[in-house]
Structure 1
Amino acid sequence: MTAYDPNNIFAKILRGEFPCYKVYEDDHVLAFLDIMPRAPGHTLVIPKAPARNLLDVKPDDLAHVARAAQKIARAAMTTFKADGITLQQFSESAGGQVVFHLHIHVMPRHNGIALLPPASRKEDVKVLEDSATKLIAALQGG
């Protein structure tokens, strides 16, 4: 397996070199909105520890990511009045992975509405800001 690349886009986001629409952060994970969402509220949850994907992540780091994904999913259900949640994780190119830092997609879903194709459109900044504000409020119990 290829080694972790510390210059991937998510590592740069973690270092503050690239901006993001952060919705949650603790000592172990960062969660932020996907700027090319497949559904409103599409959030990415990543470990702060370097991990290429599911195949090399340390079990404790994976557990932190899973707990944060569940927290985000519960808040997103309310915030986006979702009927369900889709979680996705891709490992290696053949598995569909594009950014080689472990991440879990948390996508609020509504009955009868298909996901948009991956990377099909960049969301409007105001929509992302509004979604982030609402999701942060829900995560803080507000």
Structure 2
Amino acid sequence: MSGDRALVALRKWAVVLDSAFRVPGTRVRFGLDPIVGLIPGAGDLASGFFSVMIVVHAVRLHVPKVVIARMLLNSGLDLLTGVVPLLGDLFDVAFKANLRNLALLERHAQPGIPPTRSDYIFVAGCIFILAALVAVPLAVTWWLLSQVNWF
């Protein structure tokens, strides 16, 4: 898919996930992200998958590494707050991580400059760190609950 067509597709998905609907009588907009986020576990993972797609496209367009790190932090914050029932979904309505990341992508994209191997290594490292930030608290919680014989 060409860069322009991919950006158009990513923009459509970001709008669907973050601002497709408006609460009548207010300026509050939300998308499918907080709705799908109500499904424990799977909802936030599905949303996280789309966030990663935006980041991968940013790497392909040679967005500066510091911007990619910011995009990953936006996605990570969205994913981490999403594990808190209802509060995470309210955060999704206010924060709109996908639209934030898309704005960063559009602002910093430099078409025609291919990403280097170090760009991919950097992104893989950031994704690994974000995965660890999710996995470690879950593993500690599981271990603590098993110590008090809940499992």
Fold conserved (TM > 0.5)? Answer: no
Q: Which is strand-richer, 1 or 2?
A: 1
Greater radius of gyration (CA) = 2
> Quick one: higher RCO (CA 8 Å, sep 6+), 1 or 2?
1
Q: Which is helix-richer, 1 or 2?
A: 2
